[in-house]
Amino acid sequence: MKVEVTGAAPLDAEASVLAVPVFEEEVQGEKGLYAELDRRLSGHLAAAARDEDFEGKPDQCLALRTLGKLRAQQVLLLGMGPREAAQASLPKTGFEALRMAAGKASRAARKAGAKRLAFVAPRFPGQTAHEARAIVEGALLGAYRFDRYKTEPKKGKDTEGLVVLLPQGLERSKEVKEAVALARVVSAAVSWARDQVNEPPLACTPTRLAQAARDLAKEAGLHAEVLGPREIAGLRMGMFLGVTRGSAEEPRLVKLSYLPKGAAAKKPPTVFVGKAITFDSGGLSLKPTESMVEMKTDMAGAAAAIAAMKVVAELAPPFPVHALVGACENMPGGRAYKPSDVLIARNGKTVEVTNTDAEGRLVLGDVLAWGVETLAPALVVDLATLTGACVVALGPTTVGAFGPDGPAVDAVLAAARAAGEDTWRLPLTDAMQEELKSEVADMKNAGARYGGSISAALFLKEFVGKTPWAHLDIAGPSNASKERGYIGKGGTGVGVRTLVELVRARAAG
């Protein structure tokens, strides 16, 4: 989609759809741009709003044909709630409500077959660049669709152009241009992550995911290293190899690296670690059919970690950044690892397997230990569709964050807020450590049912030592069951924007 930023007057915008965020005060008092539009439309806009009970409340929308009275063929009103409340909350939430509104407008435009979407910025003082970025990200991500396996495309044509209408004179500012450029790169990265998650497991095997990472690295100018089973064995990753034993697909260990030039290359890096179970049957602790259907998405953490590196290459921060991914399938079979097996981790810990469906933490543990030992990072962040317990605790749209008290988790939570990705911190309760005690090994891979997301995080903590670390459980928001704002059904690409904001914040000092 071509993106244009202009200071043209909204009423003069030439577009198939003119999307206008409106606030409750404007609708109730019939003032501002809402009133101007109503006058140009001979009072039909206010009449339609009354008929449809449109009051400008959040998530409300109203579409109306202009019948030649505007250069835009259709007006789409998007409710934003009270202006004062929105002005206070939007900067604290990464302008997520505006991003959602732009996504909704983009999806509506595509379904209507609109070629050109014009979106009016709400015009909050001093926030123009942030508004522009949220609008562009929301519109581009809202236009995303995954239909490569459809023999008959869905109804609606792709929107060819997006016009962002800003206050005159501000559209040419350096801040706005940089914000729009960043929005385009971030949206492309999130879409890449969505593509990988949406691919069927036959097309997204460990080998193919590794090749996709290689291709991304080549395009972005990153260094890529891919290791196979022999090299993984040489790294003493006994937990990783245990999980992959039941599958005919070979595992892959992927490392993508951004290295700045000069002395900056020697600075302690930021490291992303992504869970990459390209299909999770549960192994011998087999999942029920209904739980297995979406298990192609169990590599969403890896997709986010790899995709974020595409943006990192554009940002060129003054410190190294690496993404580490251990990719494999978790399958039953004659060679599959079994409940009561004892696996030896890279760091020497022995782990009794009590549930083969608690496999992601085993792979992540080895990869985390390897990353900490070989890279000596300033910060490690792992992303994983790790536990259903986190979805029970926080619902399907909120990321669970874990980690010891300190700047690492604080930085990740601040990055999530800036990105607009809903993230809530959960505790690393010391008492839950009892759940991981084993009679035959150093620890078990799974505890009791209650507090499952906490015990899983505590398991991972055993493999990072004293390195600053944060764990993001994205099991809920990694995959959407229905459309919402800029999020369509399927993979969401959650986590990419948080990682990007984390790197930006560290680069800013």
Single out the residue of 394, 330, 322, 323 nearest to residue 356, CA to CA: 330
Q: Are 159 and 109 in contact (CB under 8 A)?
A: yes
Single out the residue of 286, 288, 282, 215 nearest to residue 254, CA to CA: 215
Q: Which two tokens stand for residue 442?
A: 């150093």
- With a CB cutoff of 8 Å and minimum separation 6, the contacts of 259 are 223, 265, 320
- CB atoms under 10 Å from CB of 471, counted, come to 30
Instruction: Encode 119-151: b = buried (16+ Cβ within 10 Å), e = exposed.
Output: bbbbebeebbbbbbbbbbbbbbbbbbbbeeeee
- With a CB cutoff of 8 Å and minimum separation 6, the contacts of 50 are none
Single out the residue of 173, 165, 193 nearest to residue 311, CA to CA: 193
- Helix (H) or strand (E) holding 270, with range, is strand 270-280
DSSP codes of every residue in 91-144 = GGGTTHHHHHHHHHHHHHHHHTT-SEEEEE----TT-HHHHHHHHHHHHHHHT-
Q: Which is catalytic among the residues 123, 287, 489, 504?
A: 287
- Give φ, ψ of 238 to 5 degrees: -65, -35
Q: Which two tokens stand for residue 357?
A: 């469906």
Q: Which is catalytic among the residues 107, 116, 133, 361?
A: 361
Is 287 a known active-site residue? yes
- Edge-to-edge order in the sheet of strand 252-258: 223-227, 252-258, 321-330, 270-280, 379-384, 469-473, 399-402, 423-425
The Cα-based distances of 232 to 9, 241, 256, 363 in angstroms read: 60, 8, 16, 11
How far, in Å, CA of 196 to CA of 465, rounded? 31
Is 361 a known active-site residue? yes
Q: Which two tokens stand for residue 129?
A: 């660049």
Beta strands 2-6; 61-65: pairing state? unpaired
Beta strands 116-120; 223-227: pairing state? unpaired
Q: Which residues are catalytic?
A: 287, 361
